[in-house]
A and B are shown apart, each in its own frame.
Chain A
Amino acid sequence: MNDLTPILKLKQIGKSFSGIPVLTNVDLDLYPGEVHCLMGENGAGKSTLIKIISGSYTADSGEIDYLGQTYPSYSPRWAHRNGINTIYQEIDLVPHLTVAENIFLGNEPLTKFKNINKSEMNKKAEAVFNDMGVDMDVRVKLQTLKVANQQLVAIAKALAFNSKVMILDEPTSVFTNTEVELLFKLIRKLKEQKIALLYISHHIEEIFEIGDRITVLRDGNLVRTGLIGEFNKDSLIKSMVGRDVKIERHDDGKKMGGVILSVEGLGQDGVVDDISFKLHKGEILGVGGLVGAGRTEMARLVMGADRRQRGKVIYMGKEIQIKSPNHALALGIGLVPEDRKQEGIVPMRSVSENMAYSLIEKRARFGLVHWKAIKKMVLENFTALNVQPQSPEKNINLLSGGNQQKAVLGKMLCADCDVLILDEPTRGVDVGAREEIYKVMKDLKNKGLAILMISSDLIELMSQSDRILVMAGGRIAGEFSSAEATEEKILALALNQGGNQQ
């Protein structure tokens, strides 16, 4: 492999978003016919790197050598036309067109009257699938295919465009085991055709089965690139985590109270299964795991935002059937969602109005909104949370992410919850606001609230939680007390059991 020149070479790539560096001086070589695995925990910078290679992002610094030419950047279209193709997790295809039409979209074979030559197009598409060794009806609409098969169409499309570099972004996350086998067979075939593959996956077993080399990113920095033989599972996890940070655990010696919420055997097909845990009064229960492990989905099921197929939710000693998030709130279970912009705030309205939404029904008098009582309560919480700027009538859009998050938290405080589910409470929040959010969480805990905190930030998870659950592949992979948890242990659990659902 090494006697060849790399087909793609990233040199000293740097990228930051609103001043926060996401990638710093990253180098990466891709050789024809290799499977190069890109590893790193959530937020290590993998996605950003892929997007730079595929042309979606422009690097702030550094250059890309491709086929002997140097480019500071290029467009996604250029990349696509010149043989750099990305197979994304969310599939970039057109659902209403047929498989063959998708493969040749923008490049259709024509008859001499410039009509689309359908039979030729179908034949060519079939030939591509034949080469891949995949059985596929190219005449059906893409939307009728299973997601795994849509992935295969995306790969076929790349091949039809004479792909030289193919980036596979967690291709197996939607696959069953047999489908994974099929994909690996296909990848081996692509290697023979001297296509360079950049492979991103959270499943460590897969990496060791299919990979030739590994590059590990951590916090936007290149940690190590090496042949697969230079790594074993433990050393790989170690280099992914590798931080030597002292974690200050909050241990105020306060005992937690009795069980307030317990979940038994919660499950929904294709999402999560067999979820059981107990949440105590005055406890912060952290939920760790990789993106896609089913944590948010689990929270939505508990909250009644999605309907569960199996399992029980027992709240304050009684089995309850939560019908909707609104119902959950009335019972005293509040959710601060992960996607603040989409689910947490009502944009264009004032901060105080946003905070009041959870109250409007509870504090109604004669069926009318009782604004006076609401305003009073909102103001109390507003001051307690130290939302900046200190004007509750300000449009919430104008606040920083951290202050928006405080307002969302305030909305839940107003609702007198006994249980709070926080999904990534500090994502996109600056350090100062983060500390304040932690402080609020602690206050709530001391008041006897139970908090379920989903977090991808290992340090946050370990420093804030009393206990930590780790989820993988839609199931609970294990549990730690805050004393016994280490980054390696959590990550090993999260990665290890990332088996595919059958």
Chain B
Amino acid sequence: MEMREKLGSYLSFLNKYSAIIALAIIVIYGTLFVPHFMSVANLKAILFQYSIIGFLALGQLLVIITGGIDLSQGSLVAFTSIVAAVLMAQIGLVPAVVGAVLFCSLLGLFSGLLVSRTKIPAFIVTLGMLGIGRGLAKFVANAKPVPITDEFFRSMGRAELIGVPLCAILWVIASIMLYQFLKRRRLGRYIYAVGSSEESARLAGINIKKVKLFVYTMSAFLTSIGALIWASRLGSGSPIGGIGYELESIAAVIVGGASLYGGTGSVVGTMAGVMIFGVINSILNLSGISPFWQGAIKGILILSAVALSQIQMRRSRKA
């Protein structure tokens, strides 16, 4: 019995910090065995590339804690980039950026309305939005990339602050804010309550609709920030960009310890999850492993993360 308890607490410790431990192991492996991995240029490259997924994952985290899912993120990246590019040519930088964020958030709000007020499952609602976002992007752009000429905007995606990519700094700041929000604000706690037991939350007087509306809007909002960074680095808006990004953000959140059944998930875990995929991607590229393998390796990672949390859940249920 005692052994079991020990094993249980050991497992729960492992589960809580599994993403960070895994990240550390992978980084150590990369440092020791992969040439050029631990170089300033390579680390910067990882941060530049993965802070985009990082923003998406923060939004995805909120949705997943409530027990939902947001499949529309990839399309919203394309949509936002197109809106920003088109508006920038016509009304200037600041209004274009504000407009793009606003339009994207509105699509999120729409998903949130459907999820919270109808019985349509989040999977279906956001699958629909996946089509709508991509369709709108193609329609607005006439299915062609829209170049961005604003030099300042183009430079932001590559900008560095004391040697650190600016976009990564912004991502960390956003993460800290979200961390505080989830820990200290009522709405932040209610997100967990809704995902853990919706009925109990309702009986406690929590406005479930408001919580759901908020997380889908927020997911689209954070996606639009990631999309702007992406567009800036690309130097254009693209109607075919961002395909599959939603799966990467979901994977990062899950590897970061969240459960698709809702109620759990953390910002720190999600950040580690994002970085795990960034680092693995980099190691595979540097080692010259075929990109075809990379999907499979990521898949194995996701499955092991979910298997670990399942074992943990079964244990806690037995106790």
Contact = CB atoms under 8 A, between A and B. Distances in A.
Interface stretch (A45-53, A73-81, A221-229): A73-81
A96 B204 contact: no
A116 B184 contact: yes
Contacts, number: 65
Contacts of B48: none
Interface in B170-204: 184-186, 189, 192-193, 195-197, 199-204
A107 B201 CA distance: 12
Contacts of A110: 186
B278 interface: no
Contact of B206 (A93, A105, A114): A105
A72 interface: no
A389 B316 CA distance: 47
Contacts of A144: 316, 319
A106 interface: yes
Contacts of B269: none
A242 interface: no
Contacts of B241: none
Interface string B287-319: 000000000000000000000000000001001
Nearest to A118: B184
B316 A92 contact: no
A95 B197 contact: yes
B186 A108 contact: yes
Contacts of B195: 96
A84 B23 CA distance: 50
Contacts of B206: 105-106
B265 to A, nearest CB: 10
Max count, chain B CB within 10 A of own CB: residue among A76, A101, A105: A105
B112 interface: no
A97 B194 CA distance: 10
A116 B193 CA distance: 14
A80 B203 contact: yes
Given A94-B196, A95-B196, A80 B186 contact: no
B197 A94 contact: yes
Interface string B245-279: 00000000000000000011000000000000000
Given A76-B203, A80-B203, A97 B316 contact: no
Interface residues of B, number: 21
Nearest to A80: B203
A107 B206 CA distance: 9
Contact of B185 (A80, A97, A105, A114): A114
B205 A97 contact: no
Nearest to B264: A96
B178 to A, nearest CB: 14
A105 B264 contact: no
A425 B189 CA distance: 45
Contacts of A92: 197, 199-200, 203
Contacts of B197: 92-95
A143 interface: yes
A143 B263 CA distance: 11
A2 interface: no
Contacts of A342: none
A81 B205 contact: yes
Given A110-B186, A116-B184, A96 B192 contact: yes
> Which 5 residue pairs across A and B have the least CB separation, nearest first?
A96-B196, A96-B263, A106-B204, A115-B184, A106-B205
16 contacts: A77-B203, A80-B203, A92-B197, A92-B200, A94-B192, A94-B200, A94-B204, A95-B196, A96-B196, A101-B193, A105-B189, A105-B200, A106-B204, A110-B186, A115-B185, A116-B186
Given A77-B203, A105-B201, 8 more contacts: A76-B203, A94-B193, A94-B196, A94-B204, A96-B192, A97-B192, A106-B201, A106-B206
